[in-house]
Amino acid sequence: MSHELTTNTIWVLTCTSLVFLMQAGFCCLESGLSRSKNSINVATKNIVDFFIGVFIFWLFGFGLMFGQSYGGWIGTTQFAFEDTSNAHWPTVVFLFQLVFCSTAMTISSGAVAERMRFRAYLLLAVGIGAFAYPLFGHWAWARDAAGAPAGWLGKLGFLDFAGSSVVHSVGAWSALAAVLILGPRTGRFSGNKNKQPFSSSNLPMAALGFLILWFGWFGFNGGSTLALNGEVPSIILNTILAGISGGMCALLWELIVSKQISVEKVFNGSLAGLVAITASCNAVNYPSAILIGFIAGIVMLTSLSLLENRFKIDDVVGAIPVHGFAGAWGTLAVALFADTSLFQSGASRASQLGTQALGVGVCFVWSFGSIWLFMKLVNCFMSIRVTASDEKIGLNVAEHGASTELHSLLETMIAHEKGNNQSRADVDNFTEAGIVGYQYNRVLDAQEILLSNVKDREVRYRSIMDNVMDAIITIDLEGKIEEFNRGAEYLFGYHNHEAIGQGIDLLIPPLHQKIQHEYSSGELNPQLVRAIGSRQEIVAQRNDGSTFPAELAVSSVILADREIFTGIIQDISERKDYERSLNEARKRAEAASEAKSEFLANMSHEIRTPMTAILGFTDILLNNLKKQEDIESANIVKRNGEYLIGVINDILDLSKIEARKVELEQVRVNTIELIRDIAALMQIKADLKGLKLVVSFENPIPETIVTDPTRLRQILINLLGNAIKFTENGYVELRTRTINLQDEFSQLQFDVIDTGIGISETALAQIYHPFTQADNSTTRKYGGTGLGLAISKRLVEMLGGRIHVTSSIGSGSTFTISVNTGTLEGVRLRQIDEISIKSAATECNQEISDNINNTISSSRVLVVEDGLDNQRLISFLLKKEGMHVDLADNGQLGYEKTMAALESGEPYDFVLMDMQMPVMDGYTATSKLRKAGYTGPIIALTAHAMKNDMDKCLSAGCNAYATKPVDKRKLLETIARLSAPAGPAEPTSEAANSDS
């Protein structure tokens, strides 16, 4: 054997070993890209197809491919290959071609993985190795004894140096035929035709297979020279450049269009470059190799998208785009980039492109068509696809009874899902599945503890449910009863098994059932909905048909798949009976209070009516008497009459406060005028006792405040009146200040200071009690009912303030009150002195007196009053002021006289209307006058002094309100105020007598 032959033999055998190593690369790549439940099946197919390929290729495949050609179509010699030469070079070539055949067969394994029966795959491998690969290989690669092309494609000039089409495309198109018959894996493409990629089981293993294929490709292309010559280095470098270029193309595509880089596409892009360069690696320069590989990457990506998105063809590992389409491109690229000197008979590139295209087309038609017909025939006798259940559990178990650690773990989990909780997952600290199994076992242990705790809680819950006295019922959204405890059994009279599963209508009276049925299925009665998170009173029905009032509290709980409602129901029959008795007692108390109020009103009327005449004529007598003895007697009558009126007013005020019938006004009042009026009034009483009345201001006070002026005046007059009454020598002081100006709740504070007899510490504790004074001797000496301070305290609190007193026996007392001022925004603060306040009071009194005289003199007035004494008194007072007075004894006469004057064109300027009269009362007469068109002022005269009496008068149509006994000054002021020439007088709640 020559040295050259020896070298070539070693080189080709080395390359044969490298190509055989590609079998391991395909095994790792396809197993890694498949799901783990099928990985053993994929690996087994890679091994077995090598067995089949070797045997078939030895028996007749080599002869069909390289035997003496019959018309360029089929080899006819070298079957059951045997080498009789001494150098055994034919054996070397046979071995090299043998691993090529195995490569073509194993390409289909990855494409049809995960759903093809193992036996069917064996037949597919037989079809590829027995006729698809050797016959097309004969057409392209067969040579005669002289080394010239013997196959019909080869004679046409078809070039495929290392098998882009002969090896790779034949395997890929054969796989495509089988894939179309098989159909996609279950769930691979959803109903909306969107692809649902399955995850690879082991990408690191796939990466290892990818690298092994790369290494084997050096022998695949480099060994195709069948000699270790100068072409080998450039062939290997072209192979490397094309493979890298294809991978870079796929990587750039992923970087541009995807947020996550697909490892599988990068692998396949590189493999596509290797497949494409295989046809021309001996005949192109390096830039051409790079371009061929880059375009191969584009072809692979485009064809992959077309197969998956357009035709829904499921290729597990992407073998068809990589080996089929990229192989076709590589075969065509020979005409575009190869050295033209290699073309047969000096053919042009265009002519060579036609030849290459013919070869590519023939390769597809022959490989796809023959295998499709063959596998269709096989499918008629046996299903080539596994059953759906076998596909679900995986072919490792279904076809081989083999199981991976992960599959064992899944089987354990399935057993637990079916209720077998005794087994535990296998543990192995050196595998991922084993570590997951260890953690899963820990979860199971924790779950058992949790379930045990849940069972304990269930027992405790059931014990509580069965022993609680209240009825507890659970229903679903449709109103079906799911829980019914013993308390519910006792309350409703149903046993648990009788109620469970029934509708809530079972416990609802028929009338309420009708309401419930108005709502569609799945909706609860709003009465139940309102009870969620609160308590709601309902009417429930027992088993015997009786109904009872109940209190319902409902809570809503959202479970994993639905919502339930738990209601706690209590029988409140006893509570309702108690509430009814309380309500009846309240009504009786209110009736008693109304009776008391009515009694006080009637008492007030019966006393005030004669007191009007007594006090009024006493004033007249005082103006006419000359003898001192007569004057003192008249003063005694007047003083006792005023005292009696004061007692009546105090009793009425206390009654209204206790009955909560006092309604406060909240109006803006001129503070200075209010203090001025009080000072003017109290100055008279102080002068009568020879006391000095001091009015002082500690700091600027607001010009106006928001309060009830009548009640504030009443409080201050009461306190100042007490101070004057209980002081014999010295002075009484009204001191005013503003407090809390910096806060939002500013107040006006008044101190009433006297130098009187003082109050003991014992008496201070009870001075605010009604009908209570410091001691009995005080009552005897100074008089009084003991109601003033009780009323004042309650009124102060109603005005938002408080009252406080400091006192010592013999030194005097200081009463301090505070009232809210309301908002002072935009209100001016003024500093006032005593001189200005008193001079203003004097000027004001004179101004009011002059204004009254100028306004009401010569007015025509009708007095409607049934009491003769009061007629005479009021008539005398008004005539004295220069007015013309007419009289009417009842409301009917008053109405007739008023309308007669109106029709005659000389209407009355005022009507003073008593409200309680025979024939027709004042309310009716006033309403009739307003309806008849009389618009002049009508002033109500009544002995009733309650607040609702005032409202009643104003509602009837009166413009003002005066209580009996009539205060001359205030009555004249009211007449003067209403005498201003204007349109119809507006009703007012201002009373002529502030004691009401």
Look up the CATH number of the domain holding residue 795: 3.30.565.10
> Between 211 and 624, whose confidence is greater?
211
Instruction: For residue 751, give the H/E element and its range.
Output: strand 747-754
What's the pLDDT score for residue 49?
92
The answer to the question of residue 244 being in a domain is yes
Task: Pick the last residue of a domain from 539, 571, 603.
Answer: 571
Residue 665 has pLDDT above 50, yes or no: yes
In the DSSP assignment, the letter for residue 149 is: B
Domains in the chain: how many in total? Answer: 4
Q: Out of 165-174, 778-787, 906-915, 924-933, which region has the weakest mean confidence (pLDDT)?
A: 778-787
Helices 628-658 & 788-798 angle (0-180, nearest 10): 50
- Contact predicate 400/38, CB 8 Å: no
Count of residues in the chain:
996
Residue 561 has pLDDT above 70, yes or no: yes
The answer to the question of residue 367 being in a domain is yes
> Between 468 and 704, whose confidence is greater?
704
Q: Which CATH number covers residue 517?
A: 3.30.450.20
- Contact predicate 59/229, CB 8 Å: no
The answer to the question of residue 36 being in a domain is yes
Helix (H, G, I), strand (E, B) or coil at 396: helix
Residue ranges in 501-565 assigned as alpha helix (H): 510-517, 526-530
What's the pLDDT score for residue 854?
62
Residue 987 has pLDDT above 70, yes or no: no
User: Do both 945 and 876 map to the same domain?
Assistant: yes
Q: Out of 156-170, 318-332, 682-696, which region has the weakest mean confidence (pLDDT)?
A: 682-696
Domain that holds residue 622: 582-635+857-996
User: Do both 598 and 738 map to the same domain?
Assistant: no
Instruction: Kindly list the distances between the CA atom of residue 488 and the CA atoms of 131, 205, 460, 533, in Å, as whole numbers in the listed order.
Output: 84, 66, 18, 20
- Contact predicate 657/796, CB 8 Å: no
Residue 988 has pLDDT above 70, yes or no: no
For residue 779, what pLDDT band results from cuts at 50, 70 and 90?
A: very low
Residue owning tokens 């064992």 = 408
CA 406 to chain centre: 42
Q: Which CATH number covers residue 231?
A: 1.10.3430.10
696-734 pLDDT, tens digit per residue, is 998 888 989 999 888 888 899 889 988 998 898 999 999
User: Do both 807 and 919 map to the same domain?
Assistant: no
φ, ψ for residue 69, nearest 5 deg: -75, 140
For residue 780, what pLDDT band results from cuts at 50, 70 and 90?
A: very low
Question: How would you classify residue 348: left for phi > 0, otherwise alpha for psi between -120 and 50, otherwise beta?
Answer: beta
User: Do both 63 and 142 map to the same domain?
Assistant: yes
The answer to the question of residue 472 being in a domain is yes
Question: How would you classify residue 318: left for phi > 0, otherwise alpha for psi between -120 and 50, otherwise beta?
Answer: left
Beta-carbon contacts of residue 629 (< 8 Å; ≥ 6 apart): none
* Cβ count within 10 A of residue 639: 12
Q: Out of 362-366, 442-446, 591-595, 907-911, which region has the weakest mean confidence (pLDDT)?
A: 591-595
* Cβ count within 10 A of residue 386: 22
For residue 404, what pLDDT band results from cuts at 50, 70 and 90?
A: low
For residue 333, what pLDDT band results from cuts at 50, 70 and 90?
A: very high
Q: Out of 99-103, 131-135, 219-223, 755-759, which region has the weakest mean confidence (pLDDT)?
A: 755-759
312-322 pLDDT, tens digit per residue, is 999 999 999 99
User: Do both 674 and 702 map to the same domain?
Assistant: yes
- Contact predicate 667/706, CB 8 Å: yes
For residue 145, what pLDDT band results from cuts at 50, 70 and 90?
A: confident
Work out the average pLDDT over 24-46.
92
What's the pLDDT score for residue 196?
60
Work out the average pLDDT over 32-39.
90
Choose among 120, 221, 205: nearest CA to 162.
221
Residue 476 has pLDDT above 90, yes or no: no
Question: How would you classify residue 918: left for phi > 0, otherwise alpha for psi between -120 and 50, otherwise beta?
Answer: beta
What's the pLDDT score for residue 993?
39
521-556 pLDDT, tens digit per residue, is 445 555 556 557 677 888 888 988 899 998 888 888
* HSE of 475, CA atoms in CB hemisphere, 13 A: 23
**How far apart, in whole angstroms, are the C-alpha atoms of residue 902 and residue 908?**
7
Beta-carbon contacts of residue 166 (< 8 Å; ≥ 6 apart): 104, 133, 136, 137, 140, 141, 160, 363
Exposed/middle/buried for residue 514 (C-beta within 10 Å: 0-12, 13-18, 19+): exposed
375-393 pLDDT, tens digit per residue, is 999 999 999 999 999 998 8
Residue owning tokens 């088993």 = 543
Instruction: For residue 736, give the H/E element and its range.
Output: strand 731-739
Work out the average pLDDT over 178-186.
94
Greatest alpha-carbon span in the chain? 181
Beta-carbon contacts of residue 587 (< 8 Å; ≥ 6 apart): none
What's the pLDDT score for residue 995?
38
User: Do both 739 and 882 map to the same domain?
Assistant: no
Q: Which CATH number covers residue 981?
A: 3.40.50.2300
Task: Pick the last residue of a domain from 551, 571, 591.
Answer: 571
Residue owning tokens 């080395």 = 14
Residue 309 has pLDDT above 80, yes or no: yes
User: Do both 234 and 336 map to the same domain?
Assistant: yes
**How far apart, in whole angstroms, are the C-alpha atoms of residue 49 and residue 111?**
14
User: Do both 208 and 242 map to the same domain?
Assistant: yes
- Give the rounded percent of residues in the chain with a pLDDT score beyond 90: 43
The answer to the question of residue 765 being in a domain is yes
Residue 130 has pLDDT above 90, yes or no: yes
For residue 284, what pLDDT band results from cuts at 50, 70 and 90?
A: very high
Work out the average pLDDT over 589-612.
68
Q: What's the token pair of residue 608?
A: 């005030």
- Give the rounded percent of residues in the chain with a pLDDT score beyond 70: 86
- Contact predicate 314/188, CB 8 Å: yes
**How far apart, in whole angstroms, are the C-alpha atoms of residue 234 and residue 225?**
12
Sign of CA dihedral 787, 788, 789, 793: positive
Q: Out of 582-596, 653-667, 967-981, which region has the weakest mean confidence (pLDDT)?
A: 653-667
Residue 947 has pLDDT above 90, yes or no: no
**How far apart, in whole angstroms, are the C-alpha atoms of residue 208 and residue 32?**
9
**How far apart, in whole angstroms, are the C-alpha atoms of residue 637 and residue 507?**
77
Helix (H, G, I), strand (E, B) or coil at 307: helix
For residue 966, what pLDDT band results from cuts at 50, 70 and 90?
A: confident
Sign of CA dihedral 951, 956, 957, 960: negative
Residue 790 has pLDDT above 90, yes or no: no
What's the pLDDT score for residue 994?
36
User: Do both 165 and 291 map to the same domain?
Assistant: yes
For residue 482, what pLDDT band results from cuts at 50, 70 and 90?
A: confident
Average pLDDT over all residues of the chain: 85
- Contact predicate 693/731, CB 8 Å: yes
Task: Pick the last residue of a domain from 536, 571, 606.
Answer: 571
Work out the average pLDDT over 436-440.
83
What's the pLDDT score for residue 444?
83
Work out the average pLDDT over 441-455.
84
User: Do both 125 and 180 map to the same domain?
Assistant: yes
727-757 pLDDT, tens digit per residue, is 989 999 999 999 887 777 888 999 999 998 8
Choose among 106, 107, 114, 104: nearest CA to 34.
114
Beta-carbon contacts of residue 720 (< 8 Å; ≥ 6 apart): 678, 682, 732, 734, 752
In the DSSP assignment, the letter for residue 888 is: E
Choose among 111, 119, 114, 97: nearest CA to 48.
119
Rounded to 10 degrees, the C-alpha dihedral 445/447/452/457 comes to 150
**How far apart, in whole angstroms, are the C-alpha atoms of residue 125 and residue 469?**
79
Work out the average pLDDT over 479-491.
88
Work out the average pLDDT over 256-266.
91
408-422 pLDDT, tens digit per residue, is 777 788 777 777 777
In the DSSP assignment, the letter for residue 667 is: E
Rounded to 10 degrees, the C-alpha dihedral 824/826/831/837 comes to -80
**How far apart, in whole angstroms, are the C-alpha atoms of residue 133 and residue 57?**
10
- DSSP collapsed to 3 states, 264-295: HHHHHHHHHHHHHHCCCCCCCCHHHHHHHHHH
For residue 605, what pLDDT band results from cuts at 50, 70 and 90?
A: low
The answer to the question of residue 412 being in a domain is no
User: Do both 132 and 25 map to the same domain?
Assistant: yes
The answer to the question of residue 236 being in a domain is yes
Residue 427 has pLDDT above 60, yes or no: yes
**How far apart, in whole angstroms, are the C-alpha atoms of residue 660 and residue 274?**
103
User: Do both 206 and 70 map to the same domain?
Assistant: yes
Q: Out of 162-166, 337-341, 611-615, 882-886, which region has the weakest mean confidence (pLDDT)?
A: 611-615
What's the pLDDT score for residue 525?
58
The answer to the question of residue 17 being in a domain is yes
Provide the whole-model pTM: 0.51
